[in-house]
Amino acid sequence: MDFNLIRLLRTVSSERFVLQTAQGQDAAAVDLHYARDGRVAGTVFVFDDGGITDEMIPDLLQYLDEVLLPDVSLDEQNLSFTVVRGRVIGDFTPEVEDTSA
């Protein structure tokens, strides 16, 4: 698979990545959550216009398993993924009040 993985966020027990095409288009977002018992639960948000077909999903999950998660695997059943398809509506953040007036 010809994708670039960019880490956007990392906490003690989770990470978020964006998966970009070689042309720099966002194709998917990946959230990984690390349980204390060694299991990993992932959520993959496949973007409608990102170029990933439903037929590509098994290969995508195997790619994420191999590239991001060397200590767990789908085959060992200590890694699971939920896959969601959709579109990004927007980013919503709190507005900062201007107190300089």
- pLDDT category, 101, cuts 50, 70, 90? low
Q: Is residue 36 part of a domain?
A: yes
Pseudo-torsion of CA 83, 81, 31, 36, nearest 10°? 160
Q: Is residue 94 part of a domain?
A: no
> In this predicted structure, what is the pLDDT of residue 91?
84
Q: What is the pLDDT of residues 29-60, one digit of tens each?
A: 999 999 999 999 999 999 999 999 999 999 99
Q: What is the CATH number of the domain that holds 70?
A: 3.30.300
Q: Is residue 14 part of a domain?
A: yes
8: containing domain: 3-86
Number of domains in the chain: 1
> In this predicted structure, what is the pLDDT of residue 99?
73
Q: Is residue 96 part of a domain?
A: no
